[in-house]
Structure 1
Amino acid sequence: MKISREELETLKLNEETIELAAYLIKVNGYVILEGVLPQEKVNELRKAFTDCMDWFIDKHGKEIYENKKGFNEGTNHLGIFLPFAAPFNDSLVIEHPFALAIIDRLLGKDYSVTLFSSNTSLPGGKKPQPVHPDYGARFGDLCKVALPITDLVFNIPLVDVHDGNGPMEIWPGGTHLLPDNYYGPNGPNPEDLAPHMQSMKVHMPAGSILIRDVRMWHRGTPNRSDEIRPNLALIYSAFNRDNSVQIPQETYDKLSDRAKHLFRWQKIGYPAIEPTHE
């Protein structure tokens, strides 16, 4: 979706935009708001993220460069938990008005953030990831009906995403609408079905916002370029209370009331972490 100049200037989505975005997530499993972060903010985030990634690769480089294996069985897709600190905890990241307006429509207003992380496709990937949803069955084999949306992934790409630098491949339009038990170990294997189904690779300019149902089938693809393809990644959850995010008390005290509510279940009063492999 392209956002109007008026919406970008006021940071307020029109009712029609919110309604369309919510319906697209309900029907297709995802929506993209193209290029909504200011370029200077994207540049700041990319520089900080590159510094974090360089530090991490320097610390863990033996696995990549000496053993020649790459991360995650050769896919070179890497999830890094980020420190809850500037610029990653900027209000345009953790509580972007566009994202919250859409998420409010789908989850109500009492949800929380349960993941504060990133997803990067590193150069040199030898194969794609397996096709998968992010979450398994909520009730194992017991529930044989489709459940409402409860968890939404929020991504901000920090570079333009195109075919050559490891875009996410998705299977929209139904894979998030299966009965709950289909997401468990005894459900259909996405790897068996996906080759016979329609998929698409997600291209988007840097600073876009991607919101998707965690159940939508997807996978990372190899990065054929010479540069990393980083995404910031948060999950907003209606019921999950996972508390893996460490937030210094002083940092938490300076957040807006809405941001405090979003992170209320997290580890408040703990030091911000170093970049850590998921």
Structure 2
Amino acid sequence: MRISAEEMAAGKLLPETVELAVNLIKANGYVLFEEVLPRAQVDNLYDRFVEILEPAMEKHQFNPEIGFHNGTNHVGLDLPFRLPFNDEAIIAHPFVTDVVDQILGDDCILNYFHTNTSVQGGKKPQDVHADTGSRYGDRCTVNLPIIKLVVNFPLVDVNENNGPMEIWPGGTHLHPDNWYGPNAFSKSKLAEHMQSIKVLMPAGSILIRDDRMWHRGTPNRSNQPRPNVALIYTSAANAPHIGSIQIPQETYDQLSDKAKRLLRNEKIGFPVVEPY
């Protein structure tokens, strides 16, 4: 979806845009708002992230030329809760919260502050997967309501060459609960015979998706990393009572009321944790 100039200027989605986005997520598993964040902000985020990524890869001996993580060259890192990563435009963007609140309730929780990066040199895609497991194991044979939404902010233009996320929309999030458990039939085998889409998007776009939608990372054949900021919002009833994001008290005190509410279950009063 392209957000109108009027909505961009106002910093608020029209009710009909929210309604469309909500129903796209419910019916198709995701919605994409193209090119929302200013390019200068995204470039700064990318530069600061690379300063984290490079020492983390060195520490863990991730060599793109040799390959790692089964040849996918895919890296997941928690973000430190400090600027520029914890900017309100990231943790509580009004376009995101307008949609998330409609689906999860306005008392939902932000409990995941992470990144997913396809590093150059990858030879293989990830296995097709959902970002969640079954809530009731093999016992539940009906589809359950959405309880988690993943929000991704790409920090570079995502194209066919630099490791775009591949998704299987239009129903993979609508299976019975037991389809997301360890005893379900192989998603990768099924996905070979199903239609998929590679999510190509400009830097600073916003992808909001049901965490049950099948997807995978693909190999990055460019010469630079392809990072996504990855946040997860969870309905209050299903959120952990004690979170994992460490936030200094003075940082928390300076947040907006909305951001404070989203992060109220996290580890407030703890020092920022470095991702490596």
TM-score by length of 1: 0.96
Offset of residue 65 of structure 1 = 6.0
Counterpart Cα distance in 1 of 2:72 and 2:264: 35
Counterpart Cα distance in 2 of 1:59 and 1:43: 25
Q: Which amino acid aligns with 1:42?
A: V
In percent, how many aligned pairs have the same letter? Answer: 58
Q: 1:3 — aligned with what?
A: 3
Q: 1:250 — aligned with what?
A: 250
Counterpart Cα distance in 2 of 1:119 and 1:53: 11
Which stretch has the larger CA shift, 36-45 or 7-16? 36-45
Number of corresponding residues: 273
Conserved? CA contact 2:64–2:122, under 8 Å? no
Aligned pairs for 1:70-85 (under 5 A) are 70=68, 72-85=69-82
Three-state SS of the structure 2 residue aligned to 1:12 is coil
Counterpart Cα distance in 1 of 2:67 and 2:213: 28
Counterpart Cα distance in 2 of 1:264 and 1:76: 34
Aligned pairs for 1:164-183 (under 5 A) are 164-183=161-180
Q: 1:64 — aligned with what?
A: 63
Counterpart Cα distance in 1 of 2:57 and 2:180: 33
Q: 1:109 — aligned with what?
A: 106
Aligned pairs for 1:120-159 (under 5 A) are 120-159=117-156
Q: 2:49 — aligned with what?
A: 49
Counterpart Cα distance in 1 of 2:239 and 2:126: 25
Q: In 2 relative to 1, CA 2–202 (structure 1 residues): closer, same or farther, beyond 3 Å?
A: same
Q: Which amino acid aligns with 2:244?
A: S
Counterpart Cα distance in 2 of 1:180 and 1:271: 37
Counterpart Cα distance in 2 of 1:212 and 1:63: 29
Q: 2:85 — aligned with what?
A: 88
- Considering only aligned residues, what root-mean-square deviation do their CA atoms show, in Å? 1.2
Counterpart Cα distance in 2 of 1:140 and 1:187: 10
Q: In 2 relative to 1, CA 188–264 (structure 1 residues): closer, same or farther, beyond 3 Å?
A: same
1:273 aligns with 2:273: yes
Three-state SS of the structure 2 residue aligned to 1:152 is strand
Q: In 2 relative to 1, CA 106–51 (structure 1 residues): closer, same or farther, beyond 3 Å?
A: same
Offset of residue 79 of structure 1 = 0.5
Q: Which amino acid aligns with 2:39?
A: Q
Which stretch has the larger CA shift, 260-269 or 166-175? 260-269
Three-state SS of the structure 1 residue aligned to 2:183 is coil
Three-state SS of the structure 2 residue aligned to 1:143 is coil
Residue of structure 2 aligned with 1:119, choices 116, 121, 126: 116
Q: 2:262 — aligned with what?
A: 262
Q: 1:21 — aligned with what?
A: 21
Residue of structure 2 aligned with 1:229, choices 203, 226, 230: 226
Counterpart Cα distance in 2 of 1:170 and 1:15: 27
Alpha-carbon deviations, 1:18-69, whole Å to 9, x = none? 0111011001100000000011211221111111112212323x34269x24
Q: In 2 relative to 1, CA 187–58 (structure 1 residues): closer, same or farther, beyond 3 Å?
A: closer
Alpha-carbon deviations, 1:198-220, whole Å to 9, x = none? 10100000000000000000000
Offset of residue 161 of structure 1 = 0.2
Counterpart Cα distance in 1 of 2:205 and 2:170: 21
Aligned pairs for 1:200-239 (under 5 A) are 200-238=197-235, 239=238
Three-state SS of the structure 2 residue aligned to 1:196 is coil
Counterpart Cα distance in 2 of 1:57 and 1:141: 38
